[in-house]
Structure 1
């Protein structure tokens, strides 16, 4: 193989036939899942020219070189020396405000979901994924959760039915990071958990889209196709050179059950690793709280109540308890009844108590009508009210519940 000959050039100078060795900037600033490839398509070239990346590295030993306008131009303006892209700055370790992190999390959700969509498209076209870009995506999600987990996790739950598959990967990545931190895993293990969560459903790229997006109940033959996705994903990861044992394990075993009735290997009990059991809890929670082509998602608090019943044989009880602590007993977006007769939506968790989150009133059960929203920190020393029970939003016909708490994240009172 020829020795690489690298040059850094302005993005505007990239032409068809050039080999892109790397982008000089964040993965969020360009639309490509791969970081090393030949530009062979006019559409890809246009996307590159229009993206926010100003410079790229090209390898002229594997693709075309820059052609100067004339020999004198070449002498006057030699190619800049090739250097590796500067590493991104270290994440701010100080806790971000909910409003600031909401805005950052919204941008990360959008970019990461687009990246996963592109990754799946690459797989469907028979191309290998780029683990380097995948890790950058997982790192960005991980940093957001470590700064303020509630923002990105709450946003990732809000997904359209047709975009479920892609944002599901983003959501499970975020949930795995929060759970790993709650379990006291090391920093390295926490980041490995995030990467495993992002890649856990890669094999669904091998499931036919008409099956993946089917609005009705799957036939037994169609479900058999879906059940193959852990093995497909495991194979794809190995083919891409991913040797991370946690990512490979979660990808292959996140559908195993403690009672041995899962798939693909029908493992049981301690034969299922802790990381795979974590993956199972995170995967199930995001699945049942999300809108799917064939059903609406359940309320977050209702979902946790249902999952508590599945810890006998399906989910690991200790890991599930840690998962509840990582989200809060009343996760963001839950509808609850207060002791003053008001219904309120949970907008933020309290550090003081899992039972006393920050809520925003939306409805009066006394007058049976909407009320002027009021933000209440139930953990405040002078707060006289408490949560009596969770409520099902469908029973109260409050269609804009998600918009209420999202508005508080974007425009908190007093900001």
Structure 2
């Protein structure tokens, strides 16, 4: 069991599970350890952190007479605890977040994305400078992303796709985290494994922090020698984490094996079929989807629908069939932000998924017959209104071909 206590009650022999404050503020490279020295308590008190979580299963409890009314307890399976901030109101671990509309969640998701990007960027920069890596804060980010996905599975995933080539490395980690969480839900994984999958997604590319910048951000095709260097990032990420005392097996496995393929053509170990874990198979699908839909220094991203189609063609050789089918269920055949042509000849943008994979909720806004914009109309194609009866998607369209101004604002706001 975990208990939240003020730092004044810390004693030698307690197991420190988490520090209630910004990971940047605390004086340790990790926050989970048994307190064996009074100096550690002094460091925590001087850091400005006022409260901590202790693990009663692994260390001492507070003395009975010093218990305070505001202390809280919760089961171990509900960790880690998200940091409270004024910008992002995170529910307590006991409280399951309630479903929210796409519009409402987009606003919260934008703040979460910005915070997560900053944290990942800071972690990468620390690694590049040779500093000890602090990954304890990553659990807080994963929790906030998980809550967003639970409130609305489309908002944060869709926003995270809207990244520039310059911030690709950091936002890619955020996007893969969200995709891993959503995929876990469709694979019916429990809360603990869902959290671990999200953490693996957030840290999967940590090894790129030590990849030479001129290779990582090269605007053209890599040479064989450069690509060989790029391909070392799974081992480098695994090394960096283990050398810093990180031992969570699922995350380490995904970091090391997210580029393995079921036909044995992947790297670094050329694993195949049952040699690859479920979580590494999940990481492979989520990593590739976000990579090919994103703008990178050397390539513009493909449209979501085109990406799903391409991955379907590759599936037999590269991805686990069941994992890929669950992934499609999580993002949709027509993911949010897809431009589609309807049977009426009108164009619409996908706003949200519905109960039917082929009948999402769309916003109709343009007539291909008159070549003019029409008054925006939101329609759930699985439950069409009378004036849209029989309307269905007949094709997906290339956004660049139509050159609509501010297209992303039509669905992302």
Contact 1:301 1:390 in 2 (8 A): yes
Counterparts of 1:169-318 in structure 2 under 5 Å?
A: 169-318=173-322
Task: Say whether the 8 Å CA contact 2:26–2:49 is kept in structure 1.
Answer: no
Q: TM-score, normalised by structure 1?
A: 0.79
Q: 1:123-138 maps to which residues of 2 (within 5 A)?
A: 123-138=127-142
How far 1:137 moved relative to its partner?
1.1
Residues 34/311 of structure 1: CA separation in 2 closer, same or farther (3 Å cut)? farther
2:166/2:297 contact within 8 Å kept: yes
TM-fit CA distance, 1:381: 4.8
Q: Within 5 Å, which residues of 2 pair with 1:372-387?
A: 372-382=375-385, 383-384=388-389, 385-387=391-393
Are positions 1:404 and 2:410 aligned together?
yes
Q: 2:152 aligns with which of 129, 141, 148?
A: 148
Partner of 2:361: 358
Counterpart among 101, 104, 114 of residue 110 in structure 1: 114
Shift of 1:394: 2.1
2:154–2:352 Cα contact (<8 Å) kept: yes
Q: Which stretch has the larger CA shift, 312-321 or 373-382?
A: 373-382
> Runs of 5+ in structure 2 lacking a partner?
1-5, 10-16, 30-38, 54-70, 72-80, 83-91
Structure 1 residue 84 and structure 2 residue 52: aligned? yes
| Residue-by-residue CA offset, 1:32-86 (whole Å, 9 max, x unaligned) | 6573359xxxxxxxxxxxxxxxxxxx957459969xxxxxxxxxxxxx9964278
- TM-score (ref. length: structure 2): 0.80
Q: Deviations over 1:126-157 (max 9, x none)?
A: 11222211111111111111221100000000
CA distance in 1 between counterparts of 2:401 and 2:233 reads 37
Aligned residue in 2 for 1:337: 341
Paired positions, count: 353
Cα distance in 1 for residues equivalent to 2:50 and 2:103: 40
State the alpha-carbon separation in 2 of the partners of residues 81 and 261 from structure 1: 49
3-state SS in 1 of match to 2:366:
strand
Say whether 1:36 aligns with 2:27.
yes
Distance 1:83 1:307 in 2: 47
Secondary structure at 2:349's aligned position in 1? strand
Rounded to whole Å, the distance in 2 between the matches of 1:108 and 1:203 is 23
Give the drift of 1:274. Answer: 1.1
| Alignment match, 2:67 | none
Alpha-carbon separation, structure 2, partners of 1:299 and 1:64: 51
Question: What 5-or-longer segments of structure 1 have no aligned partner?
Answer: 9-20, 39-57, 67-79, 408-415
Of 391, 394, 398, the residue aligned with 1:388 is 394
What is the Cα deviation at residue 349 of structure 1?
1.1
Q: Tell me how far apart the structure 2 counterparts of residues 303 and 197 of structure 1 sit (CA, whole Å).
A: 19
**Secondary structure of residue in 2 paired with 1:307:** helix
